[in-house]
A and B are shown apart, each in its own frame.
Chain A
Amino acid sequence: MPGFPFDSVDELQGALGEHSYLADRGLATAIYLSLSLGKPLLLEGEAGVGKTEVAKTLSHLLGRELIRLQCYEGIDASQALYEWNYSRQLIAVRAMDAADAATHVEDLFGEDFLVERPLLAAIKAGDRAVLLVDELDRADDEFEAFLLEILSEFAVTVPEVGRVAAQTPPAVVVTSNRTRELHDALKRRCLYHWIDHPHLDREVAIVRARAPHVSESLARDVAEAVARLRELDLAKLPGVAETIDWANALAFLGADGLTEPLAADTLGAVVKDHEDQQLVSARLGQVVGEDG
């Protein structure tokens, strides 16, 4: 495969690890297949399990530019693909000589006035980029249909300028938090991987990799406590991001292990819902692993 420097899943997994992203076999396989088959990778999972981080790590790993399209409700083509710089155009029009304005109109729609948005930038960059379409579930159906079109063609026609097409499509990572189901048509085009919360040992390793100043013993204490938290009946389960935050917060306070008072002081770094906090506070000893 052109520009694809890995011969096996293991090799890719190792390379991701060197960039502090510890992927399990399933995720590494999904990434490997996405790159070698040239299909977008659709990642779903609870908040904070490292979906976005996959694209960031991939861009470092491949030495490509990361182009990020953050989706939100109401996003449309002019915010995702391109837009004209209307204010500049207006000024240019005003500055024109009224007599030959008509002949200058086409100048108004040249590259100078074109504002490039992430999708157009990704099409132009082609395989020099990793395109991250983040939280696609926040956009609405219409945008999803539009994105599907872009993802199948990797070409776009700007009426006033002409057709822009990618020589080789960029690597594409799409993430979703599943606030709604994505359409089957889009899913069919992608490879799919659900990222789960990592197992204890992996989580310890992730904390160590992401926050090197956190001691091994603290990392393990925190990971164990988070694992217990995930077994409680919480409305919002802490993700890996929370584990790292919590370890960071504790390390900042000079802790070398997790105790109940320390946990009580720093609970806000890991449990971020009022009712969940009440529930956890009542069982803090159990969570920290001090009694029972």
Chain B
Amino acid sequence: MGERTTVPGASGGGPLPPLIGLGRDLRARGLPVGTGRILTFVRAVGALGFTDRDSLYWAGRTTMIARRDDVEAFDEAFDDWYRSLRTTDDLRVELNMPVPAPEDDDEPIDRGPEPDDLEVQVAAASEWHGVDDDEEVEPGDESSIRIVASGAEVLRSKSFGELTDEERERVAALIRSLRLRVPVERTRRTRPASKGERFDLRRTLRRSLRTQGEPFDRAWRARTARRRPLVLILDISGSMAPYSRALMQFAYAAMAAGRRVETFVFGTRLTRVTRTLRTKDPDRALHEIGRQVEDWEGGTRIGESLKALLDGWSQRAALRGAVVVFCSDGLERGDPELLKIQMARLRRLAHRVIWVNPLKGSPRYEPLARGMAAALPSVDVFLSGHNLESLEHLASTLGS
């Protein structure tokens, strides 16, 4: 970091506004394009030296996005932007633009950072440092649930479908205050320990210097433990309507259980909502998800949605070794055979599969729906999730 602190063209005017414009367009489409990326883009265009469409496209795509899922949005934004550029014929201006010298950091001073951008950076930074909290955990933690005030005792056992609006608010707050614990797994990373399975030559040598090179005092290392990933998959189809909003609150609470938590929702198709749920304000997060998800309270295709998850995310969302919570009534409109196969796949990848079915709350319920029957052989724990009490139970089951 140093003396070079201005964004070229930041003074307004000059040849850069069109280039910066692309960055703004991308931001407007919700892509996390910070000023650093825009700056790199400007330098990239400078380095390429000429400005045919292809060069601009690739210069933009390599510098401004870093996720395959963003490619489509980038393509759209780029097309629009390029078209607008053509009409004003700003292109040639860039030709003689000096290449800004390499910066050694990518957080340059910015022309009044936009609040969104700042938020993204702050969020990224806090994620980055939030290591100690859930990484080095001793195994065998008791699951802890906050005790719910006794006045709420009635609310606890009342089905979500029967709540009044006012009760719904109170229950939502209670759900959000649930504390979830995910079990730990042992990693291959080691740390110094008084007893352990690996000999620590480094520390042993250090200590031996005190005793004229005689390694009397031997040192050991032990493997560390960390929380398993937690993956929530929520059914938001029409038949789940009375419960899905409560389950979203549960998902919000779950985000606090560690950094490796992913949430997906599905009706007829799968949507990842993890990023949205990371916002501070739960109401805003839920509102935002409602906007994102196109198939809220529509039909159900469990098998296909699960397949989309396994195909697209088994690598990334760390399903491997994860605790998976699947919330659905199992009323499958698609092919139960597909669901059966996909559940078996999930079972092989995951550490534990917990199925939460609100219908199970009814004493007369039997898992006869074809979808549910197909899924059950691959389910480790089958729970109900129709009221607060059952979600508390779910929270404590996770840790075991």
Option from B49, B120, B189 in Cβ contact (under 8 Å) with A76: B189
Task: Give bound CA distance, A78 to B202, whole Å.
Answer: 10
Interface size on A, residues (CB 8 A): 53
Chain B positions 119-172 with a Cβ under 8 Å from a chain A Cβ = 120, 124-125, 127-128, 131, 135
Contact B213 A37 (CB under 8 A): no
CB neighbours of A39 from chain B (8 A): 40
The residue of chain A having its C-beta at the shortest distance from the C-beta of B188 within the complex is: A74
**Which residue of chain B lies nearest to A94 when distances are taken between CB atoms in the complex?**
B213
Q: When chains A and B are docked, how far (Å) is the Cα of A42 from the Cα of B67?
A: 11
Beyond A86-B202, A193-B62, whether A37 also contacts B54 by CB under 8 A is no
Bound Cα distance A185, B127 (Å): 10
Q: Which residues of B contact A184 (CB under 8 A)?
A: 32, 66, 120, 124
Instruction: Let me know if A183 is at the binding interface, CB within 8 A.
Output: yes
Partner of B58, one of A29, A44, A185: A29
Interchain CA distance A26-B189 in the complex, whole Å: 37
Interface presence of B269 (CB below 8 A): no
Q: Which of A236-285 contact B (CB under 8 A)?
A: none
Shortest Cβ distance from B274 into A: residue: A181
Residues on the B chain within 8 Å of A185, using CB: 124-125, 128
Contact assessment for B316 and A33 in the assembled complex, using a CB-CB cutoff below 8 Å: no
**Cβ of A190 and Cβ of B61 under 8 Å apart?**
no
CB-CB contacts of B61-72 with A at 8 A, as 1s and 0s?
Answer: 111011110010
In the complex, residue of chain A having the shortest beta-carbon distance to the beta carbon of B214 = A94
Q: Complex formed: what's the CA distance from A84 to B208 in Å?
A: 15
The chain B residue sitting closest to A234, CB to CB, is B311
Query: In the assembly, what is the distance between CA of A145 and CA of B48, in Å?
Result: 31
Residue A217 interfacial (CB < 8 Å) = no
User: What residues of B have a CB within 8 angstroms of the CB of A290 in the complex?
Assistant: none
Q: Are A37 and B58 in contact (CB under 8 A)?
A: no
- A101/B315 in contact, CB under 8 A: no
Q: What residue of chain B has the Cβ atom nearest to residue A182's Cβ?
A: B66
Residues of B within 8 A of A89 (CB): 205
Q: Of A32, A141, A179, A189, which one neighbours B315 at CB under 8 angstroms?
A: A179
A142–B36 touching, CB < 8 Å: no
B89 on the A face (CB < 8 A): no
CB of A116 closer than 8 Å to a CB of B:
no
**Could you tell me if A178 and B315 are in contact, using CB atoms closer than 8 angstroms?**
yes
- Residue contact A188 to B36, C-beta cutoff 8 Å: yes
A29-B48 contact, Cβ under 8 Å, with A37-B40, A90-B213, A93-B213: yes
B293 to chain A, nearest CB (A): 21
Shortest A103–chain B CB gap in Å is 12
The answer to the question of A286 belonging to the interface, with a C-beta cut-off of 8 Å to chain B, is: no
Chain B's nearest CB lies how many Å from the CB of A269?
23
Is B104 located at the chain interface by the 8 A CB criterion? yes
Contact, CB under 8 Å: A29 / B62: yes
Is A86's CB under 8 angstroms from B201's CB? yes
Minimum CB distance partner of A180 in chain B: B318
Note all chain A residues with C-beta closer than 8 A to B44: 33, 37, 191
Q: A152 vs B320: C-alpha distance in the bound complex, in angstroms?
A: 32
**Interface-centre pick from A76, A177, A184, A193 (highest chain B CB count, 10 A):** A184
Which residues, 63 to 86 on B, are CB-close (under 8 Å) to A? 63, 65-68, 71
Q: Are B213 and A73 in contact (CB under 8 A)?
A: no
Contacts of B187 in A (CB 8 A): 73-74, 140
Give chain A residues whose Cβ lies under 8 Å from the Cβ of B318. Answer: 179-180
Task: Tell me the minimal C-beta distance from B165 to chain A in angstroms.
Answer: 38
Of chain A, the residue at the smallest CB distance from B34 is A188
Q: Which residues of B contact A (CB under 8 A)?
A: 32, 34, 36-37, 40, 43-44, 47-49, 54-55, 58-59, 61-63, 65-68, 71, 102, 104-106, 120, 124-125, 127-128, 131, 135, 187-190, 201-202, 204-205, 208-209, 212-215, 259, 311, 315-316, 318, 320, 345
A-B pairs with beta carbons under 8 Å apart, 8 shown: A9-B55, A33-B44, A39-B40, A93-B212, A141-B135, A178-B68, A179-B318, A187-B66
Given contacts A33-B44, A72-B188, A179-B318, 18 further A-B contacts (CB under 8 A): A26-B58, A26-B62, A29-B55, A30-B58, A74-B190, A78-B202, A84-B205, A86-B204, A90-B208, A93-B208, A101-B213, A178-B316, A183-B127, A188-B34, A188-B37, A188-B106, A191-B62, A192-B63
A contacts, CB < 8 Å to B: 8-9, 25-26, 29-30, 32-33, 36-39, 42, 44, 72-74, 76, 78, 83-84, 86-87, 89-90, 93-94, 96, 98, 101, 105, 140-142, 145, 152, 177-181, 183-185, 187-194, 235
